[in-house]
Amino acid sequence: MKTAAQYEESLRGLNFKVYLQGELVENPVDHPIIRPSMNSVKATYALAEDPQYEELMTATSHLSGEKINRFCHLHQNTEDLVKKVKMQRLLGQQTAACFQRCVGMDAINAVDSVTFEMDQKLGTNYHERFVKFLTRMQEEDWTVDGAMTDPKGDRGLAPSQQEDPDLFVHVVEKREDGIVVSGAKAHQTGALNSHWILVMPTIAMGKNDADYAVSFTAPADEDGIIYIYGRQSCDTRKLEGGDIDVGNKQFGGHEALMVFDNVFIPWENVFMCGEYEFSGSLVERFAGYHRQSYGGCKVGVGDVLIGAVALAADYNGAAKASHIKDKLIEMVHLNETLYSCGIACSAEGHKTASGTYLIDLLLANVCKQNVTRFPYEIARLAEDIAGGLMVTMPSEKDLRHPEIGKVVEKYFKGVAFVPTEHRMRILRLVENLTLGTAAVGYRTESMHGAGSPQAQRIMISRQANLAQKKELAKAIAGISTK
């Protein structure tokens, strides 16, 4: 396994072509806006080195028998699925941000079972290729970016019907030695902190969309791949040199548009090429795994937010008020409900044909449906408890100013025994988690990550098994169907 230092050094050896605010970034690792997101991924390596977290952060490879980082592991039983959620909660608690590595973990588990079943039915050798890649991924302890979401263009049209064919990633040429692909993947979490990317189709495809039914891996810095870094609320505060106004100076997340400009992919790295009838299964399984993930990562960040507002109440002198206590209880109730769903869909998982374990898809979608709602209520309650000062507070430079600093110190103090700076720091953290850069990985990602709310409702409808429920009701009511 890589150490945290080795991971950072490995990124320095990559040659990304990335644009941020209209400028080409020469050194993504040390760029002040990007660096906190790299620190979050780095934590997945650092915690794996810590003996107290070994049980959650590492696993035994079913391929080599060696100890590996759990983010490179295929789930071999329901215990693995449960440990995944617990690991994600831990990392959310440690970073209070998106640690980005979940997408690749969820992608490899989905691709494993789908390629196995594809080969069984079609006689292809995609699974063998995938296992070779996975073996290298485990040996090198790679961070892999799972790339599913396409720009989509006109949502009312299929990929092959779009005016611009590049609005979905597609094969533009098949050669003896591989394929050439064009298009883009949007909202790519942690793309610039990854060694490889694993591309998957974004929707179930029909026969006319066969060129868009493609899955492959490529080095993250492959020639022809361009990144355009996404904006986040309050992101330029990271350029100001202080640390209070950022809220969470050390950790963060990022998203980027990933553009494929006629990128060559050798056949050994291709896991689907035109087998459109399997595209839906791949999307469904990846989405299920990723919806399970939100029952861990968002809960961990929620733990930090609950702790922050509890401190804010202490610092405001309001902690004993009954309505404050009640709101904190409600926040905990909502947060633990999300965690319960994540654990439940894991414990109810089952073995696929390849041997990899899949979560209970109905419960995973229920988990994510709750995630589209509860973090918003948790954030609302957090803003309520924190108070308006959270968004009207002066800057850190005002606090440090030789003249007006004393005025800020005097008039923004809460309870007498707590330094004004501590109160400002905790309020900025609440702001960061509910409105700032971390809100991308908490509030907004809770809504749209792993599919928007309607996507989960469609899956819940498919998995609900209403026919069985009707039969149960008939039996209790004494209605004979014979």
Residues serving a catalytic function are 98, 102, 189, 255, 290, 294, 297, 445
Distances (CA, A) of 385 to 316, 326, 431: 9, 11, 12
The values of phi and psi at residue 256, to 5°, are -150, 155
User: Residue ranges of the alpha helices (H) in 275-321?
Assistant: 279-316
Helix, strand, or coil here: 444?
A: helix
Strands (E), 15-169: 18-20, 23-24, 58-60, 67-69, 144-147
Question: Quick one: residue 15, left, alpha or beta (phi over 0 = left, psi -120 to 50 = alpha)?
Answer: beta
Q: How far is residue 399's CA from residue 388's CA, in Å, rounded to a whole number? A: 18
Q: Which tokens go with 215?
A: 């899955």
Beta bridge partners of 259: 184, 226
Tell me if 437 is assigned to a ligand binding site. Answer: no
Contact in structure between 359 and 289 (CB atoms under 8 Å): yes
| Longest alpha-carbon distance in the chain | 89
Q: How many CB atoms lie within 10 A of CB 220?
A: 26
Burial class (CB in 10 A: 0-12, 13-18, 19+), 64: exposed
Beta bridge partners of 180: 173, 264
Length of the chain equals: 482
Q: What residue numbers does the annotated binding site cover?
A: 189
Annotated binding site for FAD: 189
